[in-house]
Structure 1
């Protein structure tokens, strides 16, 4: 039997035995337009071949739009989706509200104990697993090895922000459309606000002190935002205030970024010769620090969850078990190579000798392990979360804060004005919420 057929048979067994047979059922899946999710959609024929009684319908959305749509739907118990792609921020909040279906009864062969502890912990509430991780990530530096060598520099495994600035200056060649650094500038709590929150941790900043008083009027936040602005204004691409993950990915793949600090999951896309013009010229390093004890990296998992309003729970569980299984990982490896499997979720993947040959595998795992959601900042805080604050109000507040930061990057206001507005709006929102 071929590897493909073996995997199909194994997946069929896993899925069919998990929750029984169904009448013809449609499962509507809301997902993000990231490369790994698009690949999953492309491989879904494998699932429907093994489960002919389940029809999959896809709603694939840009990241900010996805978050808005699924949040509105689940808060209203709308039942529009049977499977939602959500993150480490939403799961514990929504799970505690009983808005999600527990996944503790996924089949034994799905092997919940194989999930990396840091990832599983972020998806568990009171012992109940409320989402299955599709891929896990931290953030790291991706850089052009040829441009670094041309600049006469050598990237340390654990660089500082000062080195990143030095390298960005040395690699920038605007006449040839090469920019030393690409960073998220697009407004959004999961876009620029996420990046800057993680970055600010390494500068000694925090969102709130122990009394929930906002801290945007602190010197540490001023240092963070001024440094970020200096990097992108002098060494970043034009229009940086509109660039998010996908835009910067495209720029890097086209050879226009000397460095890009972003999600570890991007590594497979920048090293894929089908899509990337610089695939054989990419190196990796930990996210930068300032010597204060925290790196500027985050911790996240895009995960599949089932809203309590779904009327196709069993079929949805069957799909979730397939899409986040070891068999799915093997299927991607067989079709597209080990470098393209969803990373950052399972211990067994990082113990696999074939995967250990992937050039970014070790750096991804080290970056994930370097993040500490329980102690994200240098000074003590009353919240958990590295690039977010795990309270329901955060998404709305951080969306507004991200808009102020993006406006500063676009030259519409100063750093001082952006921070003053961020402080004022955060104070108002937190007081209104009763903190």
Structure 2
């Protein structure tokens, strides 16, 4: 078993020698562990005998945590009862239990792009800054400075509280079919104007091939619109809480969304969520697909994909005024009502260590929140995703901005404006639809901040 993160004297040296690769595969490195344990004075057994409850959203990352959690128990003597629940149901359960005042879990996985503001207002979580500052309960090898800016920005509240440790940052980018591009002699677009031209040129309904696919389903389609809006240098709400959803830039982004999905996407995309888009792309029926980079694993799986080895990974092209990648993030935190906070903190340190973050890369868990894992050349060169995938993550990280507003009624926002966007696909005027949606949502937003 691997205790790599938590107790090793020279991580850079070990990564260079490739020992970490063996640990990641679950092969173990007894000599390394004995050496590390001999040199480490940190007491991982301080909460031995306790049992903690962990609630996770169903994902490849949760699979990885559950697959290796026996390592944590062997290291600490703490038993883990973890549960994976589909994303929407997990968010509902978390909301209900926090609202009750007696959550049944000690460690919780939050979708920060959805739950950040409500967690702050409801005082759901422990502030982790005092834990990090306390050398008696935080491993000297934890290396908090290794976490990237995008993830930490999501995890940190406006008052400076650190509610969670980021585990994963999803950058929106363009999956593209290099074979289809080459057949038409088209280069990867350098702007959103070029993207639309490429989508048009690559659309061939007679062959069942379309230039572009993205989410058209109401609610799910919001990040598509906000991705285009970021190209105008705007988010949907400004720092003072004012809605920017009727601005010329917002209307332009809605028109761009409409044009791509109506003119250059497969029939029926008004009902497409990410999975339908992914299937369409994997079947070779779409030349480009805008979505999160965390959906890569099946695309490169020959058991389910027809485009293995043909996929390019492109940073979202710049818009008329700005160049950004819409970002989303998850974090792990301690429920404020937990009676086993120290054990929970030990679990979070283990779950967010460098070994588990490397496992995300090796085992299809998406883009980790730590920076150092992207410098592990063995992982990069041996990955089936190829170096372009890693480059796309690193370049997207430099230009990341939130893909959703940091507000309490995020789901209502997605519902209201999602309907407005789908209406544009059936003849609705973008400016009119956004005006109606803004008028409908404004009182919901105002009410959410009262009390």
Quick one: structure 1 residues 281 and 323, their matched pair in 2 at CA, closer, same or farther if it must change by over 3 Å?
same
Task: Determine if the alignment matches structure 1 residue 131 to structure 2 residue 152.
Answer: no
My pick for the range that moved more, 307-316 or 207-216, is: 207-216
Task: Determine if the alignment matches structure 1 residue 362 to structure 2 residue 391.
Answer: yes
Aligned residues of 2:48 and 2:77 also touching (Cα < 8 A)? no
Residue of 197, 221, 226 corresponding to 1:197: 226
Residue of 57, 77, 83 corresponding to 2:82: 57
State the alpha-carbon separation in 2 of the partners of residues 250 and 34 from structure 1: 18
Aligned residues of 1:88 and 1:302 also touching (Cα < 8 A)? yes
Residue of 141, 144, 149 corresponding to 1:109: 141
Residue number in structure 2 paired with 1:84: 108
Unaligned runs of 5+ in 2: 2-21, 132-137
After superposition, residues 34-433 of structure 1 pair within 5 angstroms as 34-48=59-73, 50=75, 53-62=78-87, 64-89=88-113, 90-91=115-116, 94-95=119-120, 97-104=122-129, 105=131, 106-125=138-157, 128-156=161-189, 159-188=190-219, 191-203=220-232, 206-208=235-237, 212-295=241-324, 297-331=325-359, 337=362, 340=364, 342-357=366-381, 358-359=386-387, 360-371=389-400, 373=401, 386-409=402-425, 411=426, 413-432=428-447
Aligned residues of 2:228 and 2:319 also touching (Cα < 8 A)? no
| TM-score, normalised relative to structure 1 | 0.81
Residue number in structure 1 paired with 2:19: none
Aligned residues of 1:142 and 1:284 also touching (Cα < 8 A)? yes
Superposition deviation, residue 417 in structure 1: 4.5
State the alpha-carbon separation in 2 of the partners of residues 128 and 166 from structure 1: 45
Superposition deviation, residue 414 in structure 1: 4.7
State the alpha-carbon separation in 2 of the partners of residues 185 and 423 from structure 1: 19
Aligned residues of 1:30 and 1:58 also touching (Cα < 8 A)? yes
Aligned residues of 1:87 and 1:302 also touching (Cα < 8 A)? yes
Listed one character per residue, the Cα deviations across residues 363-404 of structure 1 (whole Å, up to 9, x for unaligned) are: 201101112x4xxxxxxxxxxxx3222233444333322233
Aligned residues of 1:356 and 1:362 also touching (Cα < 8 A)? no
Aligned residues of 2:165 and 2:352 also touching (Cα < 8 A)? yes
Unaligned runs of 5+ in 1: 374-385
Aligned residues of 1:10 and 1:327 also touching (Cα < 8 A)? no
Question: Cα RMSD (Å) of the superposition?
Answer: 3.4
| TM-score, normalised relative to structure 2 | 0.79
State the alpha-carbon separation in 2 of the partners of residues 34 and 185 from structure 1: 23
State the alpha-carbon separation in 1 of the partners of residues 186 and 100 from structure 2: 54
Q: Secondary structure at the match of 1:214?
A: coil
Superposition deviation, residue 322 in structure 1: 2.2
Residue number in structure 2 paired with 1:379: none
Superposition deviation, residue 147 in structure 1: 0.6
Quick one: structure 1 residues 342 and 40, their matched pair in 2 at CA, closer, same or farther if it must change by over 3 Å?
farther
Quick one: structure 1 residues 30 and 341, their matched pair in 2 at CA, closer, same or farther if it must change by over 3 Å?
closer
Q: Secondary structure at the match of 1:180?
A: coil
State the alpha-carbon separation in 1 of the partners of residues 45 and 117 from structure 2: 25
State the alpha-carbon separation in 1 of the partners of residues 165 and 240 from structure 2: 34
Quick one: structure 1 residues 353 and 391, their matched pair in 2 at CA, closer, same or farther if it must change by over 3 Å?
same
The total of aligned residue pairs comes to 410
